[in-house]
Amino acid sequence: MPPQTAGWAGSRRLLRQLRALMKGGGSGQERLDKTVALIADDMVAEVCSFYLLRAGEVLELYATKGLRPEAVHATRLRLGEGIVGDIAANARPLNLSDAQSHPNFAYRPETGEEIYHSMLGVPVMRDGRVLGVLAVQNRTARQYGEEEIEALETVAMVLAELLSSGELGGAVGSGGLDSAESLPARLTGMVLNEGLGIGTAAMHERGIVIRQVVAEDPAAELERLDAALSAMLGQLEDLLARNELSADGEHQEVLETYRMFAADRGWVERMREAVRGGLSAEAAVQRVQNDLRTRMSRVKDPYLRERYADFEDLGNRLLHHLLGSAGTAEDSDLPDDTVLIARSLGPADLLDYDGAKIRAVVLEEGSPSAHVAIVARALGIPMVGRCRDLLARVRKGDTVIVDGVSGQVLLRPRSSIRASFAEAIRAGEERRKVFAATRELPAVTRDGTRIGLHMNAGLLIDLQQLHASGAEGIGLYRTEVPFMVRESFPDVAQQQDLYARVLDLAEGKPVTFRTLDIGGDKALPYWGGTEDENPSMGWRAIRIGLDRPAMLRQQLRALVRAAAGRELRVMFPMVAEVSEFVRARHLLLREVERQRAAGGRVPSRIECGVMLEVPALVWQLPTLFDLVDFVSVGSNDLLQFLFASDRGNPRLARRYDILSPPALAFLMNLTAQAEAAGVRLSLCGEAAGHPLEAMALIGCGFRILSMPPGGVGPVKLMLRSLELAPLRGYLDHLVRLPQASVRELLRSYARDRGVAL
Ligand code: PEP
Ligand code: MG
């Protein structure tokens, strides 16, 4: 699956010479001096220099052949400064025929480099971290060839291994880490699975040291590589067979996909090619991983990035097989309160650990739809990802607090902070017990109004929460989520099977399926789509469904078949005007007829509705209400269109509030019209899961809310302490105020009346 590249020939001779050099004696500095001289000779360059990244993000000229010797240890560049700084900051090679005309060129007179025109520099990287820069220069203005770039990259990789293994002496071994690393630090990331965790840092698969970089006997190395590959595949098979999670569901699919990657021919062939080019099996794995990493840093598509991450994890497993450890985590060495730290983690890797010992996971990479996040949800482990500089900042044994609510990770926190988080975790457990105790209690306000509390779901695993949370049903099943974790478009039979399982697991509780909401930022890897300038207002959701009806019809067919003999609730996303709904419903009814005509069982009852996300639809409500069975407000999208404010733009994140006069007035108007028409109305955006917002929504007239499962307990607790009648009058007053937000007024209102927020 990784994109094809031209293979590199490698420079076997250079590698062999390097190995001989390392076997010889001498200090680290002497060996580095010889290394740069060797490279310069081999590449016919007048200059070869190595810059080491030291503490404080400074690149120091550490060894050179060709520049003035007095510049060594004297010339320093900040990260990002000069061409060398640029290479390190962006972790990518630069190939310049005229370096001095590059906008980033920084002249350092002590080096005497003004006579050299062309320059090729590559980052020296390990574990995704830049350790330094290796560069060659020539007097003539020449462009270095692809083979030369690859040769220099291979040497840079070898250098990185030698630096990490300490073979170049202690002075350059640490990669420039600072004593500041014993101080408390706070990193900000993205919540991949909610929850709080506190514990002791343990590194996932660090400490891989490759001692043998150059192949003594390429044929034997190829055999080692093949043996390791089949051992790794065997281990994945075992894991799949064991799979303590459950026999079905996405985690099974996730593992299957992962296993498929392990057998990917392109990936395997590129490692083989690197061995033929002169590298040992483990160095070849590392080389291909470095390549993938560089590529990954340029890829924006989140799905592709995750697939790259899968290859990365497989590479790590393979390295463990090659280096003799079993490739599984050593649980006996693991603290009982482990916070697992990794650049990225594969789903199988997480399953390797004893889940009882893992308090939380922090990743430098990762995304909410990553396979490992799905497994973390299944195991209930808090997880924060996209933590920049994580690996550079955290040390094994550090105390780490993972705040999987705000996305903060606190390293080496002071004892007072530690105590307050431990208290928050304890209080959270208490609260969970209270919520669990309310599970069976009716969702009724103090003055007797019943509120329907439903939950949102997107994966089979979410259905466990349906019964645990006490939700009445699934108010929003986001059907695109299972599509996003797959490799190809699921066919009708696969979809039918999935939807039938959702209905089975719901055990008779109602499920509202939202048809595919793809396009825009919800890209499917196997769906070309278009490059919309403004994705959320672009060709997405029902717009695609109506323009490419085959896809929507297949989905509706699968839903009709899955619900045979049971109730089927379907709603369409992003409907902007009534005729879109009419056309979509027509497709649904046609599928029902088709099924009937074919003698198949049809659903016992069909309810067809819309998501109200586009404000225009409000101006057609009487017509719409005549046609639909229900309407569900998608407040996430509605708010962004109402305020013309991108929901994903952090600069606008707090600017417009659902608890504001215009939004509340809009919603009050809507509930009044729905009530008059006798049409069931619900709201299913994230806001419904926050007690304060839920209070206001109920005050506005909503009687059904659908929310993330974690919101059901807190919202039920809130509404059971709420006197509804006076709230309505208060909201009538609030919507006339000129404030941008009435959030604080509502909070005071709740506090004064003892509403449990
Ligand atoms: C919404 O827009 O509020 C909604 C529930 O749909 P999604 O978040 O999936 O766009
Ligand atoms: Mg939406």
- 147: domain CATH number? 3.30.450.40
297 pLDDT more than 90: no
Helix axes 250-262, 218-242, angle to 10 degrees: 170
User: Counting beta carbons within 10 angstroms of the beta carbon of residue 500, is it exposed (0 to 12), middle (13 to 18) or buried (19 or more)?
Assistant: middle
Range 237-250 average pLDDT: 61
Highest-pLDDT range among 20-34, 85-99, 299-313: 85-99
Q: Domain of 666: which CATH number?
A: 3.20.20.60
Domain ends where: 148, 171, 194? 171
pLDDT per residue over 493-533, tens digit each?
Answer: 999 999 999 999 999 999 999 999 987 656 665 666 566 77
Give residues with Cβ within 8 angstroms of 206, minimum separation 6: 127, 391, 396
Range 317-341 average pLDDT: 74
Query: Of 343 and 10, which is predicted with more confidence?
Result: 343
Task: Give the Å distances, CA to CA, from 497 to 393, 569, 574, 739.
Answer: 46, 17, 26, 50
Contact predicate 530/518, CB 8 Å: no
Domain ends where: 171, 196, 228? 171
In this predicted structure, which of 387-391, 475-479, 605-609 has the lowest mean pLDDT? 387-391
480 Cβ closer than 6 Å to some ligand 1 atom: no
Using alpha carbons, select from 449, 491, 478 the residue that is nearest to residue 541: 478
Q: How far apart are CA 47 and CA 137, in angstroms?
A: 5
Q: How far apart are CA 611 and CA 616, in angstroms?
A: 12
517 Cβ closer than 6 Å to some ligand 1 atom: yes
Range 56-77 average pLDDT: 91
Residue 179 in domain:
no
Residue 222 in domain:
yes
Same domain, 634 and 534: yes
Query: Of 303 and 494, which is predicted with more confidence?
Result: 494
Q: What is the pLDDT of residue 7?
A: 36
Residue 658: how many CA atoms within 13 Å on its side-chain side? 25
Task: Give the Å distances, CA to CA, from 590 to 507, 583, 584, 595.
Answer: 27, 11, 10, 9
Same domain, 606 and 721: yes
Range 470-490 average pLDDT: 84
Q: Domain of 271: which CATH number?
A: 1.10.274.10
Q: Residue 536 Cα, ligand 2 centroid: separation in angstroms?
A: 9
Q: How far apart are CA 25 and CA 37, in angstroms?
A: 16
Same domain, 161 and 246: no
Element spanning 278, H or E: none
Residue 383 in domain:
no
Annotated catalytic residue within 48, 387, 608, 684: 684
Q: Residue 637 Cα, ligand 1 centroid: separation in angstroms?
A: 6
204 Cβ closer than 6 Å to some ligand 1 atom: no
Task: Fill in the DSSP letter of residue 689.
Answer: G
Q: Residue 321 Cα, ligand 2 centroid: separation in angstroms?
A: 45
Q: Residue 166 Cα, ligand 1 centroid: separation in angstroms?
A: 52
247 pLDDT more than 70: no
- Output helix, strand, coil percentages for the chain, rounded to the nearest 5: 50, 15, 35
Element spanning 394, H or E: none
634 Cβ closer than 6 Å to some ligand 1 atom: yes
Q: What is the pLDDT of residue 697?
A: 98
6 pLDDT more than 80: no
Q: How far apart are CA 163 and CA 143, in angstroms?
A: 29
- Domain range for 100 is 7-171
Same domain, 166 and 215: no
pLDDT per residue over 103-132, tens digit each?
Answer: 888 888 899 988 999 999 999 987 667 889
159 Cβ closer than 6 Å to some ligand 1 atom: no
519 Cβ closer than 6 Å to some ligand 1 atom: no
pLDDT confidence bin for 308, thresholds 50/70/90: confident
What string of H, E and C letters represents the secondary structure of 156-182? HHHHHHHHHHCCCCHHHCCCCCCHHHH
Q: Residue 633 Cα, ligand 2 centroid: separation in angstroms?
A: 9
Contact predicate 373/394, CB 8 Å: no
Contact predicate 517/554, CB 8 Å: no
Q: How far apart are CA 275 and CA 278, in angstroms?
A: 5
Adjacent-strand bridge partners of 609: 571, 630
Same domain, 126 and 243: no
Q: How far apart are CA 38 and CA 46, in angstroms?
A: 11
Q: How far apart are CA 497 and CA 493, in angstroms?
A: 6
Q: Hey, how many other C-beta atoms are within 10 angstroms of the C-beta on 736?
A: 8
744 pLDDT more than 80: yes
Same domain, 160 and 235: no
Alpha carbon nearest to ligand 1 atom 1, residue: 634
Residue 82 in domain:
yes
Ligand number nearest CA of 639 is 1
Query: What would the DSSP string read from start to end of 552-565?
Result: HHHHHHHHHHHTBT
Same domain, 242 and 164: no
Q: How far apart are CA 745 and CA 757, in angstroms?
A: 14
Residue of 540, 637, 641 best suited for mutating to test ligand 1, as the one with most atoms within 8 Å of CB: 637
For 269-356, list the strands marked E by DSSP: 338-342
Task: Give the Å distances, CA to CA, from 175 to 21, 57, 497.
Answer: 22, 10, 52
Residue of 478, 479, 480 best suited for mutating to test ligand 1, as the one with most atoms within 8 Å of CB: 478
Residue 352 in domain:
no
pLDDT confidence bin for 5, thresholds 50/70/90: very low
Q: What is the pLDDT of residue 329?
A: 45
Which ligand 1 atom is at minimum distance from the Cα of 456?
5
Q: What is the pLDDT of residue 264?
A: 75
Q: What is the pLDDT of residue 315?
A: 86
Q: Hey, how many other C-beta atoms are within 10 angstroms of the C-beta on 538?
A: 17
Task: Fill in the DSSP letter of residue 569.
Answer: E
| 749 three-state secondary structure | helix
| 133 three-state secondary structure | strand
The position carrying tokens 């924006």 is 300
Contact predicate 222/423, CB 8 Å: no
Element spanning 36, H or E: helix 28-42
Residue of 536, 641, 684 best suited for mutating to test ligand 1, as the one with most atoms within 8 Å of CB: 684
Which ligand 1 atom is at minimum distance from the Cα of 634?
3
Query: Considering just the CA atoms, what is the radius of gyration of the chain in Å?
Result: 30
Q: How far apart are CA 755 and CA 716, in angstroms?
A: 11
Highest-pLDDT range among 3-17, 187-201, 465-479, 721-735: 721-735
Residue of 369, 459, 479, 636 best suited for mutating to test ligand 1, as the one with most atoms within 8 Å of CB: 636
Ligand number nearest CA of 477 is 1
Q: What is the pLDDT of residue 155?
A: 87
Which ligand 1 atom is at minimum distance from the Cα of 637?
2
Contact predicate 497/534, CB 8 Å: no
637 Cβ closer than 6 Å to some ligand 1 atom: yes
Q: What is the pLDDT of residue 159?
A: 85
Q: Is 321 a catalytic residue?
A: no
The edge-to-edge listing of strands for the beta sheet with 338-342 is: 185-188, 408-411, 399-404, 195-203, 338-342, 358-363, 383-385, 190-193
Which ligand 1 atom is at minimum distance from the Cα of 476?
5
Domain ends where: 300, 328, 356? 328
Q: How far apart are CA 155 and CA 672, in angstroms?
A: 71
pLDDT per residue over 566-593, tens digit each?
Answer: 999 999 999 999 999 999 999 999 999 9
Give residues with Cβ within 8 angstroms of 534, minimum separation 6: none
The position carrying tokens 């400064």 is 81
Which ligand 1 atom is at minimum distance from the Cα of 684?
5
Range 612-625 average pLDDT: 97
Handedness of CA 245, 247, 250, 255 (dihedral sign): positive
| 150 three-state secondary structure | helix
349 pLDDT more than 70: yes
pLDDT confidence bin for 594, thresholds 50/70/90: very high
Q: Residue 700 Cα, ligand 1 centroid: separation in angstroms?
A: 20
Using a pLDDT cut of 70, give the percent of the chain over it. Answer: 87
Query: Pseudo-torsion of CA 270, 275, 277, 278, nearest 10°?
Result: 160
Q: How far apart are CA 638 and CA 658, in angstroms?
A: 10
Same domain, 89 and 23: yes
Task: Give the Å distances, CA to CA, from 347 to 245, 255, 311, 370.
Answer: 12, 7, 12, 9
Token pair listed for 205: 């698969």
Token pair listed for 270: 């590129």
Highest-pLDDT range among 40-44, 53-57, 523-527: 40-44
Same domain, 165 and 211: no
Q: How far apart are CA 455 and CA 469, in angstroms?
A: 9
| 95 three-state secondary structure | strand
Q: Is 48 a catalytic residue?
A: no
Same domain, 129 and 267: no
Residue 335 in domain:
no
Q: How far apart are CA 314 and CA 189, in angstroms?
A: 24
Ligand number nearest CA of 478 is 1
Tally of structural domains, the chain: 3
Average pLDDT, the chain: 86
10 Cβ closer than 6 Å to some ligand 1 atom: no
Range 348-359 average pLDDT: 83
Alpha carbon nearest to ligand 1 atom 4, residue: 634
Q: Residue 685 Cα, ligand 1 centroid: separation in angstroms?
A: 6
Residue 123 in domain:
yes
Task: Give the Å distances, CA to CA, from 151 to 120, 146, 637, 707.
Answer: 11, 9, 50, 54
685 Cβ closer than 6 Å to some ligand 1 atom: yes
pLDDT confidence bin for 610, thresholds 50/70/90: very high
Helix axes 724-734, 691-700, angle to 10 degrees: 90
Same domain, 639 and 720: yes
pLDDT per residue over 628-682, tens digit each?
Answer: 999 999 998 999 999 998 876 667 767 899 999 999 999 999 999 999 999 999 9
Q: What is the pLDDT of residue 184?
A: 82
Same domain, 162 and 210: no
Query: Of 285 and 10, which is predicted with more confidence?
Result: 285
Task: Give the Å distances, CA to CA, from 745 to 591, 652, 669, 718.
Answer: 50, 22, 21, 17
Q: Residue 579 Cα, ligand 1 centroid: separation in angstroms?
A: 21
Range 714-741 average pLDDT: 96
Q: Residue 636 Cα, ligand 1 centroid: separation in angstroms?
A: 5
pLDDT confidence bin for 249, thresholds 50/70/90: low
Which ligand 1 atom is at minimum distance from the Cα of 573?
6
Annotated catalytic residue within 204, 320, 321, 371: 371
Residue 398 in domain:
no
User: Counting beta carbons within 10 angstroms of the beta carbon of residue 531, is it exposed (0 to 12), middle (13 to 18) or buried (19 or more)?
Assistant: exposed
Q: How far apart are CA 313 and CA 321, in angstroms?
A: 13
